[in-house]
Structure 1
Amino acid sequence: MSSGLGFVHQCLNPLIAFRSPGHSFPLQLSARGLIVSRPIGWCRVEVLKSVPNPDTVVAADESYGRKEVISVNPRLYDYLLVNVREHKILCELREETATRHGSQMQVSPDQAQLLAMLVQIMGAKKCIEVGVYTGYSSLAVALVLPEGGQLVACEREAKSLEVAQRY
């Protein structure tokens, strides 16, 4: 058992003792630590055990609500980019968009893949996107919608919309 797993196991020992035979607690690792949820009667009790995570960053600016985000280090980001599955048409659109002013507004291939996966997991049949730019994320979502699915995409910048409509 590695030291990290040992730490998690040590945190859970008092909680495991309360577990009834044949019943397990759902575990969720959040940016704040390990959350153990267990039902007691009609309510749900969540116990937070702190697990140190150096890759978690808390936004210092109050306007972000002190949100905790996962810091993506270069090794992790390289792994994401190598393993992302980008449809050929998305690749063409991304390359065209990269030449345009404001190209930083386009989502990255890994973000588009995550959006598409969420649409599939939810079984969504209707989606809406406000602020399309050149349509990269809209197209990623449209590609995974089921037969008869609908996507409503709204963009007010005519030149960006022209690019999106070509794809």
Structure 2
Amino acid sequence: MATQADQQAQSGTGHQEVNHKSLLQSDALYQYILETSVYPREPEPMRELREITANHPWNLMCTPADEGQFLNMLLKLINAKNTMEIGVYTGYSLLATALALPDDGKILAMDINRENYELGLPVIEKAGLAHKIDFREGPALPVLDQMIEDGKFHGTFDFIFVDADKDNYLNYHKRLIELVKVGGLIGYDNTLWNGAVVAPPDAPMRKYVRYYRPFVLELNKALAADPRIEICQLPVGDGITLCRRIS
């Protein structure tokens, strides 16, 4: 039976469509990574949710499978227990996180669209992971401001993943740096932004890529200059920048 990857290859879509976020120049090389290292080890709930999301009209928003695998291993390596996710969509990266956390681990998950989250919720519930997730519908900034005002959440998060409105990434960072613990990690997704960060300003771009490009450039510049963090920008998916809080 043909795999989803085989069907994509035959249709000529490759990773420009569902998995377009890879910055590898060869579709065949990216497909090799997926078929050899990612799909064979992908937990069944993640495979199921990935295939559900592939049929959604906004499937380009889904975290790529190789990035989901990376996040899952990273969380295990740092022994994360208390985490946050801003921007959930159908919950693929959320599920990768929930699978990595211990049974008493917690994820504060925020998104402006509960309907998308509920597409993936049955898979999360079937996997027995729903008890780890505190989902909040609505903008994240007011929630973060309230947490900071309360005072008891400062330095309490082991890991925070941000994959939401790029024009607010710096606003998130100003708050999240107070909430993540010293030695903890913040991951900002899409920091290579379809390669647009190095494209000439007059290069052909999709409208949304052009609109958010200045915000991504501003974020990257600010993170590189922030003395409170160590950073590592990785060409996984559409680019993910890991920030380790050091002070």
| TM-score, normalised via structure 2 length | 0.38
- The residue aligned with 1:8 is none
For residues 20-31 of structure 1, the aligned pairs below 5 Å read none
Residue 163 (structure 1) shift: 1.3
> Are 2:29 and 1:76 equivalent residues in the alignment?
yes
> In structure 2, what is the Cα distance between the partners aligned to 1:79 and 1:122?
28
Q: 1:149 Cα deviation (Å)?
A: 0.9
TM-fit CA distance, 1:73: 2.8
Alignment of 1:54-93 (within 5 A): 71-82=24-35, 83-84=37-38, 85-93=41-49
- Structure 1, unpaired ranges of 5+: 1-68
Q: Which residue of 1 aligns with 2:117?
A: 161
For residue 126 of structure 1, report the CA deviation from its aligned partner: 1.1
Which of structures 1 and 2 has the bigger CA Rg?
A: 1
2-structure distance, mates of 1:88, 1:132: 19
Deviation at 1:140? 0.8
Aligned pair 1:128/2:92, yes or no?
Answer: no
Alpha-carbon shift at residue 161 of structure 1 (Å): 1.9
Amino acid at match of 1:110: D
Q: Distance in 2 between matches of 1:137 and 1:72?
A: 24
Structure having the larger proportion of residues in helix: 2
TM-score (normalised: structure 1): 0.54
Partner in structure 1 of residue 96 of structure 2: 140
In structure 2, the residue matched to 1:110 is 66
- Inter-partner Cα distance in structure 2 for 1:88 and 1:109: 12
Percent identity for Structure 1 against Structure 2:
38
User: 2:61–2:89: 8 Å Cα contact kept in structure 1?
Assistant: yes
Q: What are structure 2's unaligned runs of at least 5 residues?
A: 1-21, 125-247
1:98 aligns with 2:54: yes
In structure 2, what is the Cα distance between the partners aligned to 1:96 and 1:78? 20
Q: Relative to structure 1, is the Cα distance of residues 92 and 71 closer, same or farther in structure 2, using a 3 angstrom cutoff? A: closer
| Rounded Cα–Cα distance in structure 1 between residues aligned with 2:57 and 2:32 | 28
SS at match of 1:133: coil
- For the 8 Å contact 2:24–2:30, the answer to whether it is kept is no
Question: RCO (CA 8 Å, sep 6+): is it higher in 1 or 2?
Answer: 2
Shift of 1:150: 0.9
Report what 2:154 is aligned to: none
Question: How many residue pairs are counted as aligned between the two chains?
Answer: 99
Amino acid aligned to 1:127: T
Report the CA distance between 1:78 and its aligned residue.
2.2
